[in-house]
Chains A and B, each alone.
Chain A
């Protein structure tokens, strides 16, 4: 057993807290973060201020255990069996908040993971649409971007997989009544869509990051009002991350520390 890491919070840990905050208030629903830091942040939310969240073991089950990312699911306590066919039932039932990745995202929260270039003959084929269209029209969705740059935060995405607020508005209030893009968390800051016109808004910058840096790394005009500093983990949260949820420090490999 290695010694628990010491020292001030790293950028990865600030990101994990920002992810956890995205799940605040969700109560008893499936928090389904995809990626290393999203998984750490989701677990952190459940182990601290959002104890009723349901989370997967990364495979075909819901686990009540704070398993580290990638851990063998048999190490955890199985709450319920949730194979893929059942996952779609949960998804369409709506008690789910997913945090997905985004190869591209625009000011309205449209997300692309399918391909780069013309879809009919892509310059670079990526994941395809996967679950993004169904997720965004059925339940709350957030995005995680570990490498904030103008290539990710773009004026217009090449293919709309997850739908943003402009597409939801075009569909009308009935069709889009379950649509919510809650947050975008990046390695530089936190973004929401709570501005009047649902444009992406800079909500907070991580400690050590300036607003100008975020603006320079974003390929469209952000709504910018009062920008807070992303909060630091509490001592209790640091203890949870370092001692239980991510003892191996996998988060640091997704977002290296900058201090």
Chain B
């Protein structure tokens, strides 16, 4: 049986985006982020985006470049640099709107969208300023009586319906099945299913029957039902980590973090690393194999 051929490019994926869309970006902090897709987005003229992410440099870069209207996140961190400096600057200048959620709420919002539900209930957030400061978040009363005879009031986490999701896997096949080889899938499967269209970059496209040579069947967590296009791009997650294929480029991450200090630093960074093709980027930073 021949699988569909979903191979595409970053440019074709980004061409699907329109101003004002809601996009989801997989990974976690500065870990296994689909950065070649983020870089292509930075080269485009798309703007006014809502970005849903367990945020790292993806969110910081898009904020710094003025692409973002609103960020919905559980945090935005570079891990080894705990506070993402460009996201920080955007918050402190109030240049973006934010949904600052509890980390678990983000999972539920994605799960709700993946299951085509309007919300999922949780205790997380109740009593905290998270709900007081973000009045768009509503509560719901359980129809089932609790111990005191009343239905329990819970936070109704709204579905995070995504127009497009970007995720990065270690291995994939032409048909859009994906395999992760590090210790955590994060919420990438939920991201993919919460989106109308999902583009998956990967370190390497392999034959479907070769997946078992890289990891057990438990690692084959992305099915082609979840994906629209697949992009083979070794080094795509640079400078975030993508073990076991490669670790985080800490020196480069420091250089990136310094772009929050001045417009001159950002302009120089953009000129050198972003106003170039992905091939040139990889050559300059020394990832290309």
Contact = CB atoms under 8 A, between A and B. Distances in A.
Interface stretch (A40-48, A173-181, A235-243): A173-181
Given A61-B183, A125-B91, A174-B148, A132 B128 contact: yes
Contacts of B123: 92, 134, 137-138, 175, 178
B184 interface: yes
B262 interface: no
A127 B83 contact: yes
B267 interface: no
Nearest to B133: A119
A128 B75 contact: yes
A84 B150 CA distance: 33
Interface in A139-179: 159-163, 167-168, 170-176, 178
B150 A60 contact: no
A176 B127 contact: yes
B8 interface: no
A7 interface: no
A114 B122 contact: no
Given A125-B83, A128-B74, A130-B74, A59 B183 contact: yes
Contacts of B83: 125-127
Q: Tell me whether chain A's interface is mostly helix, strand or loop, or mixed.
A: loop
A61 B183 CA distance: 8
B199 to A, nearest CB: 22
Interface residues of A, number: 46
Interface string A112-142: 0011000111111111111111101110000
Interface string B53-89: 0000000000000000000011111000011000110
A128 B73 contact: yes
Contacts of A114: 100, 129
B163 interface: no
Interface stretch (B103-111, B203-211, B278-286): B103-111
A123 B28 CA distance: 26
Contacts of B147: 174
Interface residues of B, number: 44
A105 B287 CA distance: 44
A190 B85 CA distance: 34
B273 interface: no
A91 interface: yes
A225 interface: no
A161 B129 contact: yes
Given A134-B122, A160-B128, A163-B127, A121 B92 contact: yes
B125 interface: yes
Contacts of A134: 102-105, 122-125
A208 interface: no
Nearest to A119: B133
A4 to B, nearest CB: 30
B76 A128 contact: yes
A256 interface: no
A83 interface: yes
B128 A133 contact: yes
A109 to B, nearest CB: 12
A125 B88 contact: yes
B148 A125 contact: no
B122 A159 contact: no
A120 B127 contact: no
B157 to A, nearest CB: 11
B126 interface: yes
Given A83-B185, A174-B152, A130 B75 contact: yes
Contacts of B100: 114, 119, 128-129
B251 interface: no
A137 B91 contact: no
A102 to B, nearest CB: 14
Nearest to B185: A83
Nearest to B103: A131
A84 B128 contact: no
Given A133-B102, A134-B104, A125 B92 contact: yes
Nearest to B150: A174
B127 A123 contact: no
6 contacts: A85-B107, A88-B103, A115-B91, A133-B128, A167-B128, A175-B152
Given A85-B190, A127-B83, A162-B128, 6 more contacts: A60-B184, A83-B184, A125-B83, A129-B101, A134-B102, A161-B130
Interface of B: 28, 73-77, 82-83, 87-88, 91-94, 100-105, 107, 122-130, 132-133, 146-148, 150, 152-153, 183-187, 190
